[in-house]
Amino acid sequence: MRATKLLVDLNAIDFNIKSIKKILSSSTQIMPVIKATGYGTGDIELKDILDKNDISMVAVALSQEGVHLRKNNFSMPIVILNQPLNEDIPDIVDYKLSPGVAVFEFVEELDKYSKQENVVTNIHVEVDTGMGRVGLKPNEVLDFVKKVQTLKNINIEGIYTHFSSSDSSKSYTDEQISKFDEVLKTLENNNINIKYKHACNTAGIVNFKNAHYNLVRPGIAIYGYYPDESLKNKIELKPSAKLVSKVSFIKTVDEGTYISYNRTYKTEANAKIATIPIGYADGIRRSLSNKGKVLIKGKIVPIVGNVCMDSFMVDVTNIPDVKVGDEVVLFDNENIKLEDIAEISDTINYEILSQISTRVPREYVKTL
C-alpha cells in the first residue's frame, strides 16, 4: 500500500445522507449522484451505506460508470444523467441502465435494440430550463414525449431539469422552477403522468424546498462539502475525505539554492527542504506551486518551487525534529480545508476532490 492515500470516512457519508433526509418530506426520495467514482471518494465502497439508508436509486454521468456499478453488485436502478451516444446503447440495455435523454433519434435506436433484446428500457427526459447545456426546450417536451410514447420498448420513468445557479441566484432558479412546473402542468393537462420528477442538486435541496418534487439528486453534500459557504448555516455536513502522504527525503541547502523545475523559487537563507511523494499526476494542482501549504507534525509549512508530476517540496526549516516517514497532511478539513486549496487554485472544491487520481489508494475508515 502506497504511503500516500485518501482516507474516506464512511461514517461521515452516513451522517450526511441522514442530514439531507431531515430536509425532505417522506414522499421525496434521495438519488445520490456517485459519478466520477463518487466525486473521487469511491463508489462501490458506498453500497453498504446506501443500503443502510434505504437508498433505492443512484445517478451517474456515463454508461460506463453504470456498467461498473452493475458489475459490483448494484442491483438498484441506475440513472445516467448525461445524454449518451448511440454506441452506449448495448451497455444501457444489457445492464438495465436508465439514460437521461433529449434526442429522439437516440431513443429510436434505443427502442430498436430493446425490442431486439425483448426488454423495456426506462428513460428520464431532460428539460433545459436555463442550464444551457443538454435538454429539450420547454416547448419541445410535449411533442417529444408523445413521440416516445409510440415506442413499444421504451418507458418514460422520469423527467428532470438541472439548476444552473441554485447556490447563487434565487431569482434565476425561481425562473427555472417556474418553467419546469409549466412543463409538468402541460403534461398533466394532456393526461401524461411520469413517475419521477427531479430538479434539485445539493444547493437546490437546501435552498428550494418547493422544488423537491418526489426525487432529489444530492452530489457534493453526500461527501460532506458545500457548493457555497452560504449553505453552512442551513445543513450540517461532515467532510469525509483526508489526503495524507509521508516525507520521503530531507536535505539542507544553502542560501540562494533554486528548488524544482524552472527555478521559480530560490531560498533566501539556509533551509531544510523536504520532498513529498505526490504530484500533479496524483491530482495535486500545479497552481499550488509556491502558494500551497501542508501540515507536518502540527505545523503548517509552505510548498516551495513548482509541483512536479510525482512529488513536490516544502520548506521544513521551522520543524527541527522532522524526519523521513513523518506524516504529511494535504487536506484534513480542519487545518487545511479543501476550500482553502480550491481558493488558491482558483477553482471549486468539487474539482480538487474529484481530481485525486487513481494512483492514490483509497482507504475506508469509520471515523477520521
Average pLDDT over residues 127-140: 98
Cα–Cα nearest to 197, from 161, 167, 155: 161
Above 80 in pLDDT, residue 160? yes
Residue 42, sorted as left (phi over 0), alpha (psi -120 to 50) or beta, turns out to be: left
Query: Residue 263: CB partners within 8 Å, gap ≥ 6?
Result: none
Q: Are strands 196-198 and 154-161 parallel, antiparallel or unpaired?
A: parallel
Task: Give residue-wise pLDDT tens across range 35-58.
Answer: 999 999 999 999 999 999 999 999
Helix axes 141-148, 170-189, angle to 10 degrees: 40
DSSP class of residue 125 equals: E
Whether 261 sits among the annotated catalytic residues: the reply is yes
Given this model, what pLDDT does residue 333 score? 87
Task: Give residue-wise pLDDT tens across range 245-256.
Answer: 999 999 999 999
Given this model, what pLDDT does residue 368 score? 56
Above 80 in pLDDT, residue 297? yes
Please say whether the beta carbons of 127 and 104 come within 8 A.
no
Average pLDDT, the chain: 97
Q: Is 13 exposed, middle or buried (0-12, 13-18, 19+ CB in 10 A)?
A: buried
Average pLDDT over residues 122-134: 97
- Sequential DSSP letters for 266-299: E-SS-EEEEEES--GGGT--GGGTTT-EEEETTE
Given this model, what pLDDT does residue 366 score? 83
- Sequential DSSP letters for 201-263: -HHHHHH-GGG-TTEE---GGGGT--SSGGGTTTS-----EEEEEE--EEEEE-TT-EESGGG
Structural domains in the chain, CATH included, are 9-226 (3.20.20.10), 241-365 (2.40.37.10)
Residue 261, sorted as left (phi over 0), alpha (psi -120 to 50) or beta, turns out to be: beta
Above 90 in pLDDT, residue 1? no
Q: Of the residues 71, 185, 232, 261, which is catalytic?
A: 261
Task: Give residue-wise pLDDT tens across range 194-230.
Answer: 999 999 999 999 999 999 999 999 999 999 999 999 9
Helix axes 141-148, 104-116, angle to 10 degrees: 20
Task: Give residue-wise pLDDT tens across range 52-81.
Answer: 999 999 999 999 999 999 999 999 999 999
Q: In the chain, pLDDT over 90 holds for what percent of residues? A: 99
Cα distance from N-terminal residue to C-terminal residue, the chain: 19
Task: Give residue-wise pLDDT tens across range 84-101.
Answer: 999 999 999 999 999 999
Above 80 in pLDDT, residue 236? yes
Whether 147 sits among the annotated catalytic residues: the reply is no
Q: Of the residues 5, 35, 197, 242, which is catalytic?
A: 35
